[in-house]
Structure 1
Amino acid sequence: MAQHPIYIGVDIGTQGLRCIGWQNGSIIARNSIPLTTLNPRSGWAVQDASEIWDAFVKVVKLTVEQCQPYGELRGIGLDATSSIMMVGRDGTPKSEVMLWMDVRAGKYAQTIGGLVGRSESAELPWSKALWLYDTYPHLFNESNYLIEVADWINWNLTGEWTRSRASASLKWHATTKSDLPEWANLFPEIVKCLPKTTVGVAERLGVVCSRAAQQIGVKESNVIVAGPIIDAYAGAIGSGAIQPGSMALILGSSTCELFHDYSFKPTAGLWGPFDDVYHVGLDVLEAGQPSTGSVVRWVERNMGASRSLDELDKMACEIEPGCGGLRVFPAFQGVRSPWPNERARGAIHGLSLGHSVAHVIRAVYEGTSSDIRRIMDTLKMGATRRIVASGGGTNSRLWLQIIADICGLPLEIADNDSVTRGAAMLAAKADGYISQLNDLSVAWPIIQPSEQMGVYQEVYQKYLEEFPTFMPADRVNISG
């Protein structure tokens, strides 16, 4: 009997790279490598491109070795955050990687917001591109490219310079007729540094070149590389959340909400709607918070007194809902939705001598969960009928229960491999092994709202009342 083909899925995340080997719906290998993120100034977040590629080589090579006894490797798919860098056309990095969560380009976001006709997040790449051009204009010439990390990795794999068409649409304001927005001609120096060829989601980009094959331990000469996608969208694919009325909730260093249905109207505070991202007939609205799981880790690192997050969670379970009046506003890296503001910062409000680190952890969970509910409330009631949660945050049962109670809906809990599974499915689709990216159907464990749901509606209302306290006066309060 012929063996099923094997596909590698790689998630290039903020905290590290994760990689799986995927065969006939099963994961046969799983590896990860951490990355170093530096925050040299308030609002800045950078990584070293060489460290990312070295980690990619190591994690993929190890996974390939573990998969070899099981069959033939046929493809590699990857997802990544929308993080940008300048590189020479020979692939040499010319700048640090400006991570998606870097919000130094706030004043440029106002410029782009005026062009698109709504508030723009400083996380998005056009604002960063303007900052780079104003700061390092000598880099913008015919010798260099302005590229996203995913596209640079794919060049390393194939020798082909391409732009992700998904990212062009989701992050760079491309139109349905062009991979650039209509106003892009206002910035010709930037445009000329963008690769001219684009590749769609799960399209065949090329094959692994001999140099990369040697580095990652691939012997076959026909291993394809698939067109990439943004990490949260890979999580939606790999968790089976691409269904009408479903929200994919990706809980990681940040939190992303992806709402799926047959059609959406533009909604204040949400990005999109994006037309048929996955080629299955569904539109997507996107929202999110830049710092959620990263705030949890911040508390663990700075207040946990060497206790593990599991230990802190157990302590937080003993705290009553509402945390004795303690509120945490989790905008440690600004606000993305429902009112983009790179200048907003986090706050711990209502501290007393009776509060402990357990109160703070639980208050972070309550604050981030209230933000999720606030975003859901920007859509009409009943628009979200199903929540599928995935990502590292699903390791906290307490956090999940609080989300279910505040949002008033059951949570389907996908496994922690959803994003990497989605990346592997890109390769399987590009190779023709699967026909659709919404083929996955899994009965995930479910967390139902508890008897504390009523209490948590009061917690949510109090959060809405106190939330504007931290909102700059020049922003509109849409909490009602």
Structure 2
Amino acid sequence: MKEIAYVIGVDYGSDSVRSVLVNAHTGEEVSSSIYNYPRWQRGEYCNAGINQFRQHPLDYVEGLEHTVTECVRTAGPAVAAAVKGISVDTTGSTPVAVDRSGTPLALLPAFSENPNAMFVLWKDHTSIGEAAEINAHANRFDTNYLQYVGGIYSSEWFWAKLLHVLREDEQVRAACYSWVEHCDWIPFLLTGGNDVTQMKRSVCAAGHKALWAAEFGGLPPNDFFASLDPLLNGFTDRLFTDAYPADQAAGQLSAAWAERLGLPATVTVGVGAFDAHMGAVGGQIEPYHLSKVMGTSTCDMLVAPTAEVADNLVRGICGQVPGSVIPAMMGLEAGQSAFGDTYAWFKNLLLWPLKQTLAQSSTISKETAEALYQEVSDRIIPELTNQAAQLPLSESDAFAIDWFNGRRTPDANQLLKGAIMGLGLGSDAPRVFRALVEATCFGAKKIVDRFNEQGIPVKGLIGLGGVARKSPYIMQMMADVMDMPIRIHKSEQTCAIGAAMFAATAAGLYDKVEDAMAAMGQGFDLTYQPDATRTGFYAKRYAQYKAHGMALEDLLPAVHTKEVTDIQEEVVR
């Protein structure tokens, strides 16, 4: 008989952290807990007007302690004593400035309220100017240092964010010894790390966001960065050379954190990774099947045997890195900068008048006004969905382009803007909502087309995450637009379950993560088949989407150039 063993997976999302405690042999969920980041919920340290989105490390630390201890308390002492491993996934690229001990600067009294000393969330686009500079600068070198990240560097990524923070804040610049991804810092914290040079960096974050590649011997050379900006001179010496897959151990749980969490000090802490990468494993990814983690944004993961991919580099995606998803395979990443966020934007737009007028109402009490607002807020997307689903297909309906938070892939460009066109006096809220759903599905198809066009065939689709589980309307449209079936994974917490699978592998309970996937995976409970009566209609609309997108992109270069120039001039000032 196998020894009873349990593992914990911790999933840091954009709005909350979730932990699950599962049976390491069956994948059965024993307990779970979710913690909403309180500072983030209050909108602290963020300014959407300038695309600044920062998160305080205390939200992460408090959320870690709250969710894990609640899981342990619910499961009971016998289960807690049998926990063998814990692994973590996070959003990314979400880096932070740290001192030599590896402590985020915002945890120091002098920087506790400074947004530049906090984690720069993936969706923070304040470094658009720096990303443009990196792309132009890379063309000056014989070695193509962008070849493994799709050929285009993004403002959502590691180096652009570092350079922006160093330029913007002299105090942070003076105190910043190193620059660390969220997914690397949490394992370092749990193992009691106190020297950032000893931190194990994940190949997932390093390869997809920080330009690390085995072919370069690690990161690009110092000259690449020093000639970009003298502020980066010598910075690679304070970073890392080696990077590790998530099936390896980062170390053991420190005595202090073991006591804090109610766990044995013998627990193995796995190397971290990004949420979509571990989520793909939790969703039982298969070679050449695109695993779509659909939440506020989408992250689309594909794995293929490394030998079959060979030297085929897919342009315009978020990189391809050996071992970034499954250690023995090539991991390829793409995605959309706004998916669920697009629907949330429209919901907030519709709710704005209600929120403002209710706050000034002399007819109802403040408590009633707040309750009414919450009720409408909860019902608005389901009702829009219900009404949109009943609309007949019409080629004259409103049309949308889904770049509401810029474009991630194919061909990253965070300066692009979304659009809604073809509006008339009959364009009501359900019709506009339908156009937005259609646009996000068309954006997803552009990604599939890019893989297919460049020799990496997409043979199937796997849907994961909140939108996949909760919106049959969106998933059916996705299947119709793609003209491919899409399987929906049974688990509601594929990222956390994926982290648990990696925890079990890092703890030595499985020889490889594929074995953990087979034993702990929950399978699929639903498949959306394309509707042949609709696929032809969407094919015509998709051709329009591509044409409208090209036209919109052509309209914006002057605006883009001015915006980048303004950003750079502001940096100089």
User: What TM-score comes out, normalization by structure 2 length?
Assistant: 0.78
Q: Does 1:335 align with 2:407?
A: yes
Return the letter of the residue paired with 1:417. Answer: Q
Q: 1:92 to 1:233 in 2, by over 3 A?
A: closer
Matched position secondary structure for 1:244 = coil
1:437-476 to structure 2, matched below 5 A, reads 437-439=513-515, 440-441=517-518, 442-450=523-531, 451-472=533-554
- Equivalence for 1:317: 389
Task: Give matches, 1:424-435, under 5 Å.
Answer: 424-435=500-511
2:284 aligned to 224, 236, 240, which one?
240
Does the CA-based 8 Å contact 2:105-2:176 persist in structure 1? no
Deviations 1:208-248 (A, max 9, x none): 11222232222x1101110011111111100111x222111
- The residue aligned with 2:187 is 154
After alignment, is 188-197 or 26-35 more displaced? 188-197
How many residues align? The count is: 473
Residue pair 1:11, 1:78 contacting (<8 A) in 2 also: yes
Measured in 2, the distance between the counterparts of 1:181 and 1:230 equals: 22
Matched with 1:79 is: 89
Whole-Å separation in 2 of the counterparts to 1:411 and 1:70: 40
The equivalent of 1:225 in structure 2 is 269
Alignment pair present for 1:165 and 2:206: no
Q: Which one-letter code corresponds to 1:53 in the other structure?
A: V
Q: Residue in 2 aligned with 1:478?
A: none
Any conservation in 2 of the 1:255–1:292 contact (CA below 8 Å)?
A: yes
Write the distance in 2 (CA, Å) between the matches of 1:321 and 1:77: 46
Q: What letter matches 1:470 in structure 2?
A: L
Q: Find the structure with the greater CA-based Rg.
A: 2
Q: CA RMSD in A?
A: 2.3
Following superposition, the deviation at residue 199 of structure 1 comes to 4.0
Q: Aligned equivalents of 2:385 and 2:395: distance in 1?
A: 14
Amino acid at match of 2:88: L
1:75–1:431 CA contact under 8 A, matched in 2: yes
Bigger helix fraction: 2
Alpha-carbon distance, 1:398 to partner = 0.6
2:8–2:22 contact (8 Å) kept in structure 1 = yes
Q: Distance in 2 between matches of 1:312 and 1:69?
A: 46
Q: CA deviation at 1:372?
A: 0.9
The worse-fitting range, judged by mean Cα deviation, of 170-179 and 423-432 is 170-179
Check 1:131–1:189 CA distance in 2 against 1; reply closer, same or farther (3 A cut).
farther
After TM superposition, give the deviation of residue 426 of structure 1 in Å.
Answer: 1.1
Distance in 1 of aligned mates of 2:431 and 2:75: 45
State which of 343, 346, 364 in structure 2 corresponds to 1:299: 346
Q: Corresponding residue for 2:131? A: 109
2:512 to 436, 440, 444: 436
Q: CA contact under 8 A between 1:408 and 1:449: conserved in structure 2?
A: yes
| SS of 2:514 mapped into structure 1 | coil
In the TM superposition, what is the alpha-carbon distance from 1:389 to its structure 2 partner? 0.9
| Stretch deviating more after TM superposition (438-447 or 383-392) | 438-447
CA contact (8 A) 1:142 1:193 kept: no
Judge conservation of contact 2:53–2:120 (CA < 8 Å) in 1.
Answer: yes
Q: What fraction of aligned residue pairs are identical, expressed as a percent?
A: 24
Alpha-carbon spacing, 1:472–1:17, altered in 2? closer, same or farther (3 Å)? farther
In the other structure, the counterpart of 2:372 is none
Aligned mates of 1:289, 1:126 — CA distance in 2:
20
Work out whether 1:376 is the aligned partner of 2:378: no
Shift of residue 279 of structure 1? 4.7
Unaligned runs of 5+ in 1: 476-480
> Shift of residue 142 of structure 1?
7.3
Q: How far is the alpha carbon of 1:340 from its aligned partner?
A: 1.3
Residues of 1 paired with 2:554 and 2:411: CA distance?
Answer: 11
Supply the AA of the counterpart residue of 2:496: T
SS in 2 for 1:344: coil
Q: Which amino acid aligns with 2:526?
A: P
Aligned residue identity for 1:29: S
* Distance in 2 (alpha carbons) for counterparts of 1:288 and 1:278: 15
Q: How does 1:265-284 map to 2 (within 5 A)?
A: 265-284=312-331
Question: Which of 331, 335, 338 is the aligned partner of 1:288?
Answer: 335
Matches within 5 A, 1:349-364: 349-364=421-436
Residue pair 1:413, 1:444 contacting (<8 A) in 2 also: yes
CA-CA distance at 1:342 after TM superposition: 1.5
**2:98 counterpart letter in structure 1:** V
Q: TM-score, structure 1 length as denominator? A: 0.92
8 Å CA contact 1:83–1:97 kept in 2: the answer is yes
Contact persistence 2:85–2:267 (CA under 8 A): yes
How much does 1:266 deviate?
A: 1.2
Which residue in 1 is equivalent to 2:253?
Answer: 208
Q: Which residue of the other structure, out of 53, 56, 69, is the alignment partner of 1:45?
A: 53
- Aligned pairs (5 A) from 1:3-152: 4-23=4-23, 24=25, 25-35=27-37, 36=40, 38-68=46-76, 71=79, 72-81=82-91, 82-90=93-101, 91-94=103-106, 95-114=117-136, 115=138, 116-117=145-146, 118-140=151-173, 144-152=177-185
What do the CA deviations read for 1:334-373 (whole angstroms, capped 9, x no partner)? 1111121121122222222212222222222110110111
In the superposition, relative to structure 1, how do residues 400 and 206 fare at CA in structure 2: closer, same or farther (>3 Å)? same
Letter in 2 for 1:93: L
SS at match of 2:319: strand
Structure 2 Cα separation of the partners of residues 472 and 122 of structure 1? 21
Structure 1 contact 344–472 (Cα < 8 Å) conserved: no
In 2, Cα distance between the equivalents of 1:467 and 1:86? 37
Change (3 A) 1:315 1:135: same
1:377-392 alignment runs, 5 A limit:
377-380=449-452, 383-392=457-466
> Partner of 2:331: helix, strand, or coil?
strand
